[in-house]
A and B are shown apart, each in its own frame.
Chain A
Amino acid sequence: MEQLLEMAGKVSDKAEIYSVDVRGDSVSFENAHLKDIDSSIQSGVSLRIMKNGILGFAYTKNLADREGLIQNALDSLKGGVEGSFDLPLTKDLPSLNTYDPLAETLSNSAMVEECSRVCEILSRKTKGQINISASRSTGSIRIINSSGTYLSWKSSAYYLSPHILYPYSSASLHRVLKSKGFAKAADEYLNFLSDTYDQSLKEVNPEGRNLKVLLLPETLYVLIWRLQTATSGLSIYQNISPLAQKSGEKIFDERLSIYSDPLNDSLPHARAFDDEGTPCSFFPIIEKGALKNFYCDLYFSMKLKTPPTGHGFKGSISSKPAPLLTHLCVAPGNKSISEILKSIDRGIIIAGALGAHSGNIPNGDFSIGVAPALYVEKGAIAGHVKDVMVAGNIYDTLKKVAEIEDTVYPSHGGNFPAMLFDNINVTLKK
């Protein structure tokens, strides 16, 4: 990498090398039987250069042809993409515990054993079909640039994701376990899945529209995704964010606080720097209902003439860094999930969302199919409902939150609690 930086430095004003190596193994069970074991050993290198205020970019899977990589980056200068920002000189970052050495030696055989154990426990407790996947990954990132930054990051992760499927459906109850190394699934966790499934197994056909809606941590991303889009430097620059002029204003219920916490190394993939080498920090988006910040990478900081916030991340080796709000948390409330359930006279629990990507996301609109949709009556789960849609706009929905759960769980998109609303439109099939 150092040699590549030196070579790139000779033909450009500024240069940055990003390299990644990842080793991963995954085990999957279907219908409580081992189905697949797949492995992957992947690497990649990307190069950004700036010359005369123009940005060039190239990538490859290995460094067999350094000259070719540099030539691709030089060729891309011809397009004239603006690139007049400074590459950061980053050092003296907080030390994070992101790597569990035992993850390196965790065998596929051990993951198969754990999945078998979980299948056996869940199969004893419930009649639903059990599908499980477990995965282990270890990886490293290195970033060096012509400003003098030399950063490296090593991480490990273990995920376990059991699903209990409803009959004749792929809709399932699920909750993922995430840790830096192997962790045995606790009884409490498995009981939640099996108990909730059993209570909701019966298909019911409730009537009426005035139903409360409870989003489980697993589906809260549907709402948060819209907020992520609206607070991105890209959306602000493109003038499509409804929040562009609302910094500091109270836009949501005052019980809502939403923040990015990349330094929290209790979970996998904590980061002290982003994929451009900019330091990461605790970063509030919503504080007690008020809009606090927009987030940026180096490019959109340049465009918006604001300081970078440490949110430049790459989707893959082939993409340039772009603003991405990672490590999200929603602050917990003060009611347990059982207290929240008891407060519902009639309602729907959104345990799975279909089509979260298909609404008008920049506008804050959502309109999703719900599968599974659990039905709650008089404070208890009474079954599940088919053909349910819920719809709304987050700038109305999040203005008034009925309850927030007192515990957060690692979920798709962040660490979230369950959240109850009485202002979401529910459509049931007649």
Chain B
Amino acid sequence: MFEILRAMISGATADYADIRYEIMRETRILFHGRELFHIGSNTTDGFVIRVLKDGGLSSIAFTRADDAETALHTAEENAALIARHIKKPVEFGKTDIIQDTFLPDIDEDPRQISIDEKLQLTRNYNSIPLKYEKVATTNIYYSEVVREKYFVSTEGAKVREDLITTGLGGLITSKDGTLSQNVRVALGGSNGFAVLRNQEEEFEKRTAIALDLLRAAPVTGGTYNIVLNQDLAGVFTHEAFGHFSEADLIEDSTMRERMQTGAHLGNEALNIIDDPLMPGQLGFYCYDDEGVKARQVSLMKQGVLVGRLHSRRTAAAFGEGLTGHCVAEDYRYAPIVRMGNIFIKPGEKTLEDLLAMLGDGLYILDSKGGQTSGENFTFGAQYGYVIKEGKIRNMIRDINITGNLYHTLKNITAVGNDIVLSKTGGCGKGQLNIRSCHGGPHILINNVVVGGM
């Protein structure tokens, strides 16, 4: 395969060219309620060529090998057009030339499990919530994505890496009269099929929350001190902070002025790391889609910004070191700067300590999606509780919070000792990253705006 790919870019007149070829096998099973809606396994493949010519960088994605020559020509034309219009030529940070094949060590290869067994497992989990009268429906899926990636560059890099991602989860919807509520289940990871087994208790637990929400009160809008659980702490870290550690997002933005390394942006309790090399975690990979070895990056130390995530282009533009964080969703896309496993390092407080420090406020749990726009972020919580004098009281629902990154980083006043990382991902920064992993311990934040009905 490497020789075929090398031949495809051998006619390049550019200063640099690379080509990535991927074979992607997807297996999906989907239940709507008791009914099976989808089942099947399919294989697709495609190519992405990038060229750097006279300081212009351009890419093209294509699916037919016969289009390779046209694709290379188009990418070179586009790169030349960029070169004629930009003031500062694009440069690439220098990297070791890797020639390696990396196949992950996993616990039960899903390719060796029959689709009948996958269907049975999904059906069994799906039947757990459906036992309950007030569960109106479910949307429960099994997903398996196996990507076999080959990367070749004119610098001599030859890298093959496989990424195997499994997921089993979805939505449980409860209903009482005209009121419906829903809760998500999310199991999976990057280390094989075994993590999906023996999860009946998790489905029971999530079903109980969906049913309890029918009796919960909508949150009252206002400004609160809140404790976020690990999943929400992870979403905050990813959405509000992490995206602005991605160098491509701040490169041409006024946010770059504030995101200078050495800037004191957060409370001294805060230490944030991104590490794609954590074995067994969802965001694990060895080489990025530029053939650069991934490495752990310390992003914030005791509230001070100390690092950021780079592609080869942004590393050169910022004059900083390579980090190996340039990743594509699949063969339809050129790589962009992405997080791997991003998390807040745990502190020493227990949840009870944090609730005691909170006194009166809200304890909110589990993400319902988030979004960021520069310094502003918003995300939803699946459920929460009113806290009075440090004690958990009544359940609340319909919770969304919004805030300003810089104010919130300062307002994180305490960090728990109980880190958890996410098992499924779905960051949508132009492309979907199903291996986007985030987490952290419980955290206490003061002065947060909560939207209420």
| Chain A residues engaging chain B, CB cutoff 8 angstroms | 25, 30-31, 33-44, 56-62, 68, 72-73, 75-76, 78-82, 108-109, 112, 116, 129, 131, 165-171, 234, 237-240, 242, 317-318, 320, 352, 354-360, 362-363, 365, 367-371, 386-393, 425, 427-430
Report how far A354 CA is from B70 CA in the complex, Å: 40
Contact with A along B372-383 (1 / 0, CB 8 A): 111111111000
Known: A78-B115, A320-B38, A359-B400. A371 touches B374 (CB 8 A): yes
B95 within 8 A of A: no
Closest 9 CB pairs of A and B: A369-B378, A358-B380, A169-B374, A79-B39, A389-B451, A170-B374, A369-B402, A358-B369, A76-B40
| Cβ-based interface call for B355 (8 A) | no
Asked if A242 contacts B371 (CB within 8 A), the reply is no
6 contacts between A and B (CB under 8 A): A36-B82, A72-B43, A168-B375, A369-B371, A428-B449, A429-B223
What mask results when residues 137 to 155 of chain B are scored 1 for a CB within 8 Å of chain A, else 0?
A: 1000000000000000000
B60 with A40: CB separation less than 8 A: yes
How far apart are the CA atoms of A363 and B401 in the complex, in Å?
19
Verify if B113 is at the interface (C-beta below 8 Å from A). Answer: no
The distance in angstroms between the C-alpha atoms of A264 and B175, with both chains bound, is 38
Q: Which chain B residues lie closer than 8 Å to A30 at the CB level?
A: 251-253
Given contacts A75-B41, A363-B180, A391-B453, contact A357 B369 (CB under 8 A): yes
Q: How far is the CA of A393 from the CA of B178 in the complex (A)?
A: 13
Kindly state whether residue B173 has any CB partner on chain A within 8 Å: yes
* A168 and B379 in contact, given A72-B41, A429-B223 (Cβ under 8 angstroms): no
Q: Is B267 in contact with chain A by the CB < 8 A criterion?
A: no
Q: Which residues of A contact B81 (CB under 8 A)?
A: 37, 108-109, 112
Contact yes or no, B252 A31, CB < 8 A:
yes
Cβ B116 vs Cβ A367 within 8 A: no
B59 touches A365 (CB 8 A): no
Q: Is the CB of B39 within 8 A of A38?
A: no
B86 in contact (CB, < 8 A): yes
Query: Is there contact, CB below 8 Å, between B63 and A42?
Result: yes
* A34 & B82 in contact (Cβ 8 Å cutoff): yes
Would A80 and B334 be within 8 Å (CB), given that A38-B59, A368-B451 are in contact? no
B85 and A365 contact, CB distance less than 8 A: no
Nearest CB on A from B305, distance (A): 15
Chain B residues, Cβ within 8 Å of A109:
81
Structural contact, A240 and B137, CB atoms closer than 8 A: yes
Do the beta carbons of A41 and B64 come within 8 Å of each other?
yes
Whether A62 and B63, one on each chain, are in contact in the complex, defined by CB atoms closer than 8 angstroms, is yes
Contacts beyond the supplied A76-B40, A168-B258, A234-B32: 9 A-B pairs with Cβ under 8 Å? A40-B62, A75-B115, A79-B29, A239-B175, A354-B378, A359-B380, A387-B403, A429-B223, A430-B222
Q: Is the CB of B63 within 8 A of A165?
A: no
| Pick from B36, B137, B258, B450: contact of A79, CB under 8 Å | B36
**B179 interface hit (Cβ, 8 Å):** yes
Residues of the A chain whose Cβ atoms lie less than 8 Å from the Cβ of B397 = 360
Q: Is the CB of B403 within 8 A of A358?
A: no
What A residues does B67 contact at CB under 8 A? 41
- Report if A170-B372 is in contact (Cβ < 8 Å); known contacts: A62-B64, A129-B254, A240-B173: yes
Question: Nearest CB to that of A35 among chain B residues?
Answer: B252
Contact of A355 among B45, B115, B400 (CB under 8 A): B400
B interface vs A, CB < 8 Å? 26, 29, 32-33, 35-46, 57-64, 67, 70-71, 74-75, 77-79, 81-82, 85-87, 115-116, 119, 136-137, 173, 175, 178-182, 221-223, 249, 251-255, 257-258, 332, 334, 368-380, 397-404, 447, 449-453
Complex CA distance for A90 and B57, rounded to whole angstroms: 46
Residues in chain B near residue A42, CB distance under 8 A: 46, 61-63, 332
**Partner among A38, A168, A169, A368 whose Cβ is within 8 Å of the Cβ of B60:** A38
Q: Which residues of A contact B44 (CB under 8 A)?
A: 44, 59-61, 317-318
Say whether B449 contacts A240, CB under 8 Å.
Answer: no
Q: Which residues of B contact A62 (CB under 8 A)?
A: 63-64
Query: Are A389 and B449 touching (Cβ within 8 A)?
Result: yes
Please report the C-alpha to C-alpha distance between residue A37 and residue B75 in the assembled complex, in whole angstroms: 9
Is the Cβ of B136 less than 8 Å from the Cβ of A238? yes
Residue of A nearest to B380 (CB): A358
Q: A41-B62, A167-B254, A168-B258 are in contact. Are A427 and B43 (CB under 8 A)?
A: no
- Tell me the complex Cα distance, A156–B432, Å: 25
Instruction: Check B33–A352 contact: CB distance below 8 A.
Output: no
Distance to closest chain A CB from B405 (angstroms): 10
Taking a contact as CB atoms under 8 Å apart, the answer to whether B404 and A76 are in contact is: no
Give which listed residue, B33, B223, B253, B453, contacts A367 with CB less than 8 A: B453
Give the contacting residue for B78; candidates A108, A170, A370; CB below 8 A.
Answer: A108
Give the distance to chain B from A232, nearest Cβ to Cβ, in Å.
12
Find out whether the CB atom of A387 lies under 8 angstroms from the CB atom of B402.
yes
B64 cross-chain contacts in A, Cβ below 8 A: 41, 43, 61-62
Contact B182 A37 (CB under 8 A): no
A355 — which chain B residues lie within 8 A by C-beta?
Answer: 369-371, 378-380, 400, 402
* A residues less than 8 Å from B26 (CB atoms): 318
> Do B46 and A389 touch (CB < 8 A)?
no
Complex CA gap A166/B373 in Å reads: 10
State whether A362 touches B39 (Cβ < 8 A).
Answer: no
- The interface residues of chain A lying within 8 Å CB-to-CB of B223 are 429-430
Closest chain B residue to A167, Cβ basis: B254
**Whole-angstrom distance between the alpha carbons of A360 and B61 in the complex?**
36
For B119, the chain A residues whose CB sits under 8 A away are 79
- Residue of B whose beta carbon sits closest to that of A242: B178
Docked Cα-Cα span, A42 to B410, in Å, equals 46
The complex places the Cα of A359 from the Cα of B223 at a distance, in Å, of: 19
Query: Nearest Cβ in chain B — how far from A119, in angstroms?
Result: 11
